[in-house]
């Protein structure tokens, strides 16, 4: 009867010192793992955004290059382009944008701006030619591409700025080092490229 009475009494739960030690020790290892996973996912998200913006720049650079070369093609018979202009157009045809670094893409964009300005100057002597619908359409396409490149560049640089700052801050820099990540270059415009390029659309 005494045994049954003892069994029905409230007793506090107990755990051995060894059990407590291993329980708290597990938290010491588990918490950093979750933090590492969170940081790794965050860095991967930034890289995806950077790559998406970079891909957008590639697409617009390719379209701008195509439109410039087509513009020269459709006006070449009626105009006498300078040899330097034709040489630059040939170089554009043979350029694979996807294989370029960020710095090379910025340089290519600058070269296209210079080419665009040169074409504009030479076309001023042919007002009847610039009034044709085909030329107007190509000029508008070039202008749209230029604006889209500027927008994509802003998005790219914004994401690069956040990413570059993140991988230098603790504890993010620890995970970035483990993943062998490096800072990303900005897509910088040159003074030449920052000048406004006006396309006479004839409107």
Percent of the chain's residues with pLDDT above 90: 16
pLDDT(18) > 80? no
| Amino acid 201: pLDDT | 37
Q: What is the pLDDT of residues 102-125, one digit of tens each?
A: 888 888 888 888 888 888 887 777
pLDDT(13) > 60? no
Q: Can the peptide bond before residue 171 be classed as cis, meaning omega within 30 degrees of 0?
A: yes
pLDDT(199) > 50? no
pLDDT(3) > 70? no
Q: What is the pLDDT of residues 138-155, one digit of tens each?
A: 888 888 888 888 899 999
Domain boundaries, the chain: 42-194
* Triad 166, 167, 169: Cα angle to 5°: 65
Compute the distance between CA of residue 107 and CA of residue 43 in angstroms, rounded to an integer: 28
The winner for highest mean pLDDT among 40-54, 68-82, 89-103, 125-139 is: 40-54
Domain range 42-194, CATH class: mainly alpha
Contact 108, 100 (CB under 8 A): yes
pLDDT(5) > 70? no
């Amino acid at each position: 009867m005494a045994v049954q009475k003892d069994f029905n009494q409230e007793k506090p739960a107990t755990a051995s010192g060894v059990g407590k030690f291993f329980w708290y020790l597990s938290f010491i290892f588990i918490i950093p793992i979750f933090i590492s996973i969170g940081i790794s996912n965050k860095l991967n998200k930034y890289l995806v955004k950077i790559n998406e913006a970079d891909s957008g720049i590639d697409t617009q650079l390719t379209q701008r290059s195509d439109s410039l070369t087509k513009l020269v093609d459709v006006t070449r018979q009626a105009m006498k382009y300078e040899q330097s202009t034709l040489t630059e157009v040939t170089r554009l045809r043979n350029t694979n944008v996807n294989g370029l670094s960020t710095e090379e893409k910025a340089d290519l964009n600058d070269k296209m701006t210079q080419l665009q300005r040169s074409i504009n100057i030479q076309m001023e002597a042919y007002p009847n030619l610039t009034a044709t619908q085909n030329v107007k359409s190509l000029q508008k396409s070039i202008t749209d591409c230029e604006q889209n490149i500027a927008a994509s560049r802003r998005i790219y640089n914004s994401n690069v700025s956040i990413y570059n700052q993140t991988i230098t801050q603790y504890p993010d820099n620890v995970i970035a080092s483990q993943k062998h990540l490096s800072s990303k270059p900005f897509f910088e415009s040159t003074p030449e490229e920052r000048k406004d390029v006006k396309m006479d659309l004839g409107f």
